[in-house]
Amino acid sequence: MPDGGAPARAAQQSALSSLTHEFLTDEETGDLLDAVADADLTDPDAEGCLQGIHWTGGFASFQSYTVGSVLAAQLDDALREDIDDVDQLIRAGEFEPLHDWMTEHVHRHGQRYPADELIERATGEPLTAEYFVEYAEAKFGDPYGV
């Protein structure tokens, strides 16, 4: 799908620049902006607020991070069903059981299966946001009252 070239990117940047700039200059982020200024980094407005690589390939193409987070939460749940005290293993720096589980359930298959089938084989169910929602509620529920 064509991205519309430089004029479209300029219009996208112009439309979002004021929103992004307004957010970044909010009083709550003032200390962060001062720290960036003190570090003698490039002023975010010098080249525009949206200079990240995510804006060049497609307008706000961050969805792959979301899908990756949803999948990671589901794999984590399946892994914890098979391996006892995963947190203790991680604290102890003992990653071999985790690596072995990922190798057995995911990596050894390479491209043998389409992604949706591989996910179901590895976790026992199709991709679902259920585990990510549980993770997010546990992590952010109390601190933010959600």
Q: Convert the pLDDT of each residue in 45-98 to its tens digit.
A: 556 666 666 666 666 667 778 899 999 999 999 999 999 999 999 999 999 999
CA 136 to chain centre: 13
Token digits for 130? Answer: 């259920």
The band of 142, judged by pLDDT with boundaries at 50, 70 and 90, is confident
Say if CB 146 and CB 137 are below 8 A apart.
yes
Reference 105, options 70, 136, 81; nearest CA is 81
Question: Which stretch of DSSP H or E encloses residue 93?
Answer: none
Residue 9: which of 48, 45, 59 has the closest Cα?
59
pTM above 0.75? Answer: no
pLDDT-based confidence at 19, cuts 50/70/90?
A: very low
Q: What's the mean pLDDT when you consider all of the chain?
A: 78
Q: What does the pLDDT average to over 117-143? A: 94
Work out the average pLDDT over 3-14: 56
Q: Which residue has the higher pLDDT, 121 or 143?
A: 121
